[in-house]
Amino acid sequence: LLSWISLEPLYRLLEWQARHSLEATRLAEELRDQRGKLNRTIKDLDASYQLLQQTNQELAVARHEAEILHSLRNRFATNLSHELRTPLNIILGFSQLIYTEPTLYGYSAWSERLRRDLAEIRRNAGYLSELVDDIVDLARVDALSMPIRREDTDLAKLIDDTVAMVDSLAKAKGLSLAVNCQQGIPLLHIDPVRIRQVLYNLVTNAIRYTEQGSVTVSARLDESAPAGAVIVSVADTGRGIAEAERQVIFNEFYQIGRPKQDADPGKGLGLAIAKRLVLLHGGSIWVESEVGRGSTFSFTLPLLSKTTSLLRQSPEAPVPKRRAKPMVVVVNDEGTATGYLSRRLEGYQFVAAADPTPSSPPKEMSEPGPAERPVAVIINQSPEVEKPDSLPRCPIDLPEDVPVIECALPSPGWLLNRQQFAAVLTKPVSREQLSAMLDRLLPRGESLSRPGDGRYNLLLVDDDRSFVQLLLRMLEAQAQPGRGYDVRIAYSGESALKKLRSWQPDLVLLDLVMPGLTGFEVLERMRREERLLHVPVVAVTAATPGEDKIAAQGSTFKVTRRGAFKPGELISLIATCLGAGQDEAGPGTSAVAGTG
C-alpha cells in the first residue's frame, strides 16, 4: 500500500504525459493536414493568378483589336467620303453646267428630250451623293466616331420644325400631316440634330409608302419606364409591313416589297441609321404594323435624370442641377476650333477665348468658381514645325495643376492670315462660289498682267484633271462682255513654278495636296520672287480648311503644367503619346513634349 501510495504521483504524471503526447500527435497531424491544404491553396492561387494574367493579356489583345477595328472603320468612312464624293461632285458639276449652259458647247438650247436625259443624270448623281452621305454616317456610328452633342431641347418644337421641312412632300401627294404632342413634356438632354435626322427619316418614309390618308407624329410620356421616358411615334395609313419584313426592316439596305417600282425608292439606310442614333441616346426603336392598314414606328428617349424617394418629399426641395461638362478654354479659336473639337469630343464644353494677356484675361477665366474652373487650356497655333522650347507660353494665369496643350487645330485662319492665301475654296466648288470669289479678287480694270483690256490671266494648279476641266467650263460660263479669262493649267507643283517663271498671272487657284511639291511649298517659292509677291492665291482643298496643312507639313503637340505631376501621370501621358504614335506613325508628327 505504501508502495502504491508512493508511486501514484508517478502514474498520474505518466498518464498526463501520455494524454499530452497523444494530443500533440493529433495536433501535429492536423497541422500537417492544414499545411497541405495551405500548399494546395497556394498552388490554386498561383494557377488562378496565371490564368488571370493570361485572361488580362487576352483582353488587352481583344481591346487593341477592337480599337484597330474602330480606327479602320473611321478611316473607311473618311476614305469613302473622299474617294466617292470627288468623282460624284465632278458628275454633278458637269451635269448642272451642261443643263444650264448649252451655249458653252455650241448650242443655243437643248432639245426637250436631251434636257430630260440630263435631268435624269443629275437626279441619279444626286441620289448617289446622298447614298454616300448615308453610308458615311453609318460607318461613323459603327466606328463610334460620331459624337452626340447633347443639349436641353424642346421636343415639341423639334417635331414641329421637322414636320415643316416635309410638309410640301405630304401636300404633293395629297396627304394630311398632323402633330399630336402631349402637354408637359420636359426638356430632353439630346442631340437635336441627330434626333431631327431620325424624325426626318421616319416621316419621309411614311410619306413615301402612303398613297392616301394621313401621317401623324406624336409624343407622350412613358411613366412605365423605370427612369421615365418619352415615346415618339410616326403613324401612317399606308400599305403596312408583313411580319417577316418587320424582323429585318432595320437592317442596312433593306427595302420593303419591291421598292424599285416606286418613283422614289429610297436607299434602304434611313432606318438603320435611325436605329443607331436612337441607341446612342440610350433609347430603343420598334415598329407595329398591319398589312393594308398602315404602320407605326416608335422610339423612346430617356428623360432628364431625376431623384425619387419612397419617403415623404418636401415640395420646397430644390431641383438638383445637372452636372456641367468639364470646361476647356480654347485660345486662338479662329472661329472654327471649338466647333471642330465639339464635334469630335462629346464629354467636354469647349469655350473660345480671344488672345488674352496677363492684364486682361478672357471673361471665361476671370476669377472662375469651382464649376467654371477649366480642366485644361488649348492654345491653337499654326502648324509650323518648330522646336518645343521655342513655342509660345500660355499667357493666362492658371492654377498649377491645369495643363496647357499647344497644338494645331484645322482652321482657315492659317491659310488666310498666316499663309498669305487670298481665299479658300472647299470642294465641291459651285459656279456661284467661283463667281463670287472672282468678282471679289479681280475687280474690273485692275488686271496686273493686261491692264485695260478686260482680260485676266488665271493659273489652275491641281492634279485632278477632271476637276480642272470642270473649272475651265465654269470659267467659260463666267465670261462677260469686256471681261474674260486666259487660263493656263498645271497638274503639279513643279509644272506650276515652271509656268510662273515666264508668265505673269492675275490669280492662281492652287490645290494644297499634290504629289511632289505641295501647294504650301509652291506658295512659299512664289513669295520669294518680287514679281509674284502680290499675286492673289486661292487655296483649293477637299478637306476641312487646315487639315491639308497638318497632313502635308505636320505639327507640334506640347503639354505643359507648372505644378508637379501626380504619381503615374507622367508615365500615363508618355504611354498615351507613344500609343498614338504607334497607331498613326508617319511623317506628320514633328514633336511631342510634356513638361511639368
> Around 236, how many Cα atoms within 13 Å sit in the side-chain half-sphere?
22
pLDDT at 366 over 50: no
Which residues of the chain form CATH 3.40.50.2300?
A: 414-445+453-552
In CATH, the number for domain 414-445+453-552 is 3.40.50.2300
Which residues of the chain form CATH 3.30.565.10?
A: 151-256+266-302
Residues 6+ apart with CB under 8 A from 421: 415, 523, 537, 538, 539
Least confident of 97-101, 212-216, 259-263, 414-418: 259-263
pLDDT tier, 17 (very low <50, low <70, confident <90, very high otherwise): confident
pLDDT at 461 over 90: yes
Average pLDDT over residues 360-380: 58
From CA 222, how far away is CA 228, in angstroms rounded? 6
Q: Give the Cα-Cα-Cα angle 523, 524, 525 (nearest 5 degrees).
A: 90
Hey, which bits of 316-462 come out as E strands? 327-331, 349-353, 376-380, 404-407, 423-426, 455-461
CA torsion angle 444 450 455 458 (round to 10): -100
Q: What global pTM score does this model have?
A: 0.51
Query: Does residue 249 or residue 176 have the better pLDDT?
Result: 176
Least confident of 127-141, 302-316, 410-424, 484-498: 302-316
CATH architecture, domain defined by 151-256+266-302: 2-Layer Sandwich (3.30)
- Largest CA-CA distance found in the chain, in angstroms, rounded: 155
Phi, psi of 214 (to 5 degrees): -150, 165
Q: Which residues are bridge partners to 402 per DSSP?
A: none
Query: Does residue 438 or residue 358 have the better pLDDT?
Result: 438
Query: Does residue 413 or residue 524 have the better pLDDT?
Result: 524
Least confident of 3-17, 350-364, 374-388: 350-364
